[in-house]
C-alpha cells in the first residue's frame, strides 16, 4: 500500500488523534517515517516531546494489554503485525468521560493519545510489535490508573475470544470504571 500524504485527524474524543502514515514500497521492501515531530505538529497533532520509547512484542493473537491511563501522552504505532486498540476517555472533567473508540492498527496508522485516556489493545496477528513514544518517564512503584478490559459499562467488543492466559493477572484484577471513579458515578446518579 502506498499513500501519498500523511494525515492527522482529531476524533470526536478531543485529545485523541489518528495518524495515517505514508508508506513507500518498492522491490526491496518499504520505508516510512513513523514519527516526525515538525510534520505532525504542522498537521495539528499536539507537541509530544518524547523521552522514552516502549515496545511490546506479542507472540500470539488474542493477547490483551490494558486498559491503562498513565500520566503522559503517547504516540502509538504498530511496527509489525496488527492490533485492535480501544481508547477510553478516563478524564473525569471531560464531557466524553467513559466513552471509547476502537481502531485497527497496523503499520499504516498511528494514534496520538493524550494524558488521561486509557489505552488497551488486543493482538490480531502472531508476532505483533506494538511501540509507543511517551513524554514522561515510567517510575517503578508509582501507581497508574487502570481499569478492567471487560468492564460491562464500557461494552468494548474485542474481536477475538479471550482466553485466561491472554490477560495478565494484574489487568484481570483492575477495578471497574465505576469503582475507579466512584465520585464521578455518584455525582451523575
Residue 159: all three cell numbers together? 474481536
Q: Is 147 exposed, middle or buried (0-12, 13-18, 19+ CB in 10 A)?
A: buried
Q: Is 151 exposed, middle or buried (0-12, 13-18, 19+ CB in 10 A)?
A: buried
- Which residue in the list 35, 121, 130, 132 is annotated as catalytic? 132
> Is 68 part of the annotated catalytic residue set?
yes
> Is 144 part of the annotated catalytic residue set?
no
How many CB atoms lie under 10 A from the CB of residue 97? Answer: 17
Closest CA to 43 of 23, 24, 79, 17: 17
- Which residue in the list 24, 35, 68, 121 is annotated as catalytic? 68
Active-site residue list: 68, 132
Amino acid at each position: 500500500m502506498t499513500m501519498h500524504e500523511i494525515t492527522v485527524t482529531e476524533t470526536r474524543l478531543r485529545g485523541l488523534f489518528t495518524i495515517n502514515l505514508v508508506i513507500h514500497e518498492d522491490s526491496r521492501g518499504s520505508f516510512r517515517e513513523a514519527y516526525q515531530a515538525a510534520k505532525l505538529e504542522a498537521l495539528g497533532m499536539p507537541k509530544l516531546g518524547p523521552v522514552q520509547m516502549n515496545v511490546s512484542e506479542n507472540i500470539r493473537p488474542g493477547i490483551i494489554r490494558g486498559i491503562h491511563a498513565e500520566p503522559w501522552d503517547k504516540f502509538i504505532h504498530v511496527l509489525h503485525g496488527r492490533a485492535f486498540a480501544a481508547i477510553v476517555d478516563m478524564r473525569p472533567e471531560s464531557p466524553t468521560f467513559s466513552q471509547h473508540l476502537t481502531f485497527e492498527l497496523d503499520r499504516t496508522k498511528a494514534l496520538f493519545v493524550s494524558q488521561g485516556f486509557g489505552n488497551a489493545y488486543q493482538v490480531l496477528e502472531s508476532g505483533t510489535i506494538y511501540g509507543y513514544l511517551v513524554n514522561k518517564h515510567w517510575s517503578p512503584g508509582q501507581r497508574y490508573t487502570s481499569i478492567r478490559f471487560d468492564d460491562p459499562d464500557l461494552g468494548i467488543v474485542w474481536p477475538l475470544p479471550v482466553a485466561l492466559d491472554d490477560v495478565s493477572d494484574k489487568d484481570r484484577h483492575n477495578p471497574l470504571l465505576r469503582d475507579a471513579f466512584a465520585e464521578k458515578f455518584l455525582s451523575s446518579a
